[in-house]
Amino acid sequence: MRESDAEYAERLRKEWGDKPCDCTHKKQEHLLGMGTGDYYCIQCGRWYTAEDLRNK
């Protein structure tokens, strides 16, 4: 079975640990082919909501 975005982000977080990250590259989470409106950093796996990104 293909790894879901949530599982992928979880793995990134574990591998990245607590190193600093500027999170410049974020990707929208997709579930069953639909964007969920949540984003994760493709480097450290930290989650961002659409709201978080708007307030930046």
Residue 12 is a binding residue for Zn ion (CB under 5 A): no
Of 23, 28, 36, 47, the one binding Zn ion (CB under 5 A) is 23
Tokens 């969920």 sit on residue: 36
Residue 9 is a binding residue for Zn ion (CB under 5 A): no
Among 54, 55, 5, 10, smallest CA distance to 27 is for 5
- In the complex, the smallest distance separating the C-beta of residue 1 from Zn ion, rounded to whole angstroms, is 26
The torsion region of residue 23 among left (phi > 0), alpha (psi -120 to 50) and beta comes to: left
Q: Which residues bind Zn ion (CB under 5 A)?
A: 21, 23, 41, 43-44, 46
